[in-house]
Amino acid sequence: MLEANDVSSLIYDWNEVDKRHPRTKKVRFVDETIRDGLQSPSVRDPSIEQKMELVRLMDRLGIHVVNLGLPGAGRRAQEDVEALLRMIVDEKLSILPNCAARTMEADIRPIIDISQRVGVAIEVTAFIGSSPIRAFAENWDVERLVGHTKAAIELITDNGLPASFVTEDTTRSHPKTLDTLFRTAIEAGATRLVLCDTCGHAVPHGLRNLLNFTKGLLRGMGMEEEVKLDWHGHNDRGHALTLATLALEWGVDRAHGCALGIGERVGNTSMDHLLLNFYLLGRLDPAEHDLSCLVEYVEKVSEYTGVPIHPSYPLVGRDAFRTATGVHAAAIIKAEARGEHELADRVYSAVPARVFGRRQTIEIGHYSGRSNVIYWLRERGIEPRDALVDRVLKYAKNQDRTLDDEQIMAVVEAAT
């Protein structure tokens, strides 16, 4: 019988051919689900108990940092952040906390107060719009941006908290502005720059250009080791997952994401897809990342926010491991008949369903063959007599969609 490694030997992996500059350090993730994810106009704000459950799942998944919210939004946000922070401390979770804030004392001060009350440092991610289109709309000038940046970062660091500087819309910002703001933030004490594709504008070569520019600036300042880089992307052009993956491969320290890719407009990078892909790339240590709860994490976010999971959503969607196509089903069925479950899992899927508690499912529809019907009947303890198989298949060929169990059983019962 084939083992998992033997199955891998049956796949010629073009992803590994002539792979350049392989990253050696561990990839790290920041979960924005209960902050940026909840800025989607279509979500329901989960209860504090539900948010606690999500943070526990993030911790099990080995996600390194969770954004607990935007305390500057008001008392409810402040209360939730404090309750979540206390839970992290009381339950001795490994996940680290951060909070978002505009570069304004009114946003930063509540984070400082919560940190001091609980006795735990909170990373402050202070953001300011940096693109010329935003500056024009807001009637801002660079001097104003510099003043807000300096005052905000100094307020954070003077109170002993780690400061991350976030330039909103980085991917549409002028290099002269970024140079000025990055230098200001670093000189004021920021130890992390968060590069944002706030409007989902970037494509891969744009990301590479931005990273080369930023790394060059840090190198010129002699701060390559002291100042880390994050990538925060949105999905307006559909590039979010690709860009986050490339950012991590090209030297960014952390990538941000949200479960189910929720967030403003069309959403953020999907955190579950990031975890899935880096697992498949062999880049996640199983001792640090328990992906057995990855499906649960997505399903709970869907349940708690009211955002439905699309049937074709990778890994978690209803159709992710479901086929009614005769040719595809036949290959899976043949592998299972030989007892080669690992082979059955991979012959028509890039994702091993069994690893995540899912399984390949054979359905019956107008593209199906006899093997689909025979398999379906045997799975339910029904003898696949030729006449019955023919009857079910004939019925399926005359329908415009995949049959549900009730439809098939009605045909079976009518034939008995």
> Which DSSP string corresponds to 35-53?
TTGGGSTTPPPPPHHHHHH
Task: Give the C-alpha separation, 119 to 69, whole Å.
Answer: 18
Nearest to 58 by CA among 291, 216, 218: 291
Task: Give the C-alpha separation, 232 to 304, whole Å.
Answer: 23
CB-based burial, 103-135: b 16+ in 10 Å, e otherwise? beeebbebbbebbeebeeebbbbbbbbbbeebb
Residue type, 127: F
Q: What is the DSSP string of 252-309?
A: -SEEEEBGGG-SSTT-B-BHHHHHHHHHHTT-S-TTT--GGGHHHHHHHHHHHHTPPP
Supply the CATH classification number for the domain 24-305: 3.20.20.70
Global confidence as pTM: 0.93
Q: What is the pLDDT along the chain (416 residues), one digit of tens a residue?
A: 555 557 888 888 888 887 765 566 899 999 999 999 999 999 999 999 999 999 999 999 999 999 999 999 999 999 999 999 999 999 999 999 999 999 999 999 999 999 999 999 999 999 999 999 999 999 999 999 999 999 999 999 999 999 999 999 999 999 999 999 999 999 999 999 999 999 999 999 999 999 999 999 999 999 999 999 999 999 999 999 999 999 999 999 999 999 999 999 999 999 999 999 999 999 999 999 999 999 999 999 999 999 999 999 999 999 999 998 988 888 888 988 888 888 888 888 999 999 999 999 999 999 999 999 999 999 999 999 999 999 999 999 999 999 999 999 999 999 87
Q: Where are the domains of the chain?
A: 24-305, 322-415
Residue with tokens 């955002």: 307
310: DSSP letter: P
86: DSSP letter: H
- At 8-61, the pLDDT tens digits run 888 888 888 877 655 668 999 999 999 999 999 999 999 999 999 999 999 999
Residue with tokens 């839970």: 87
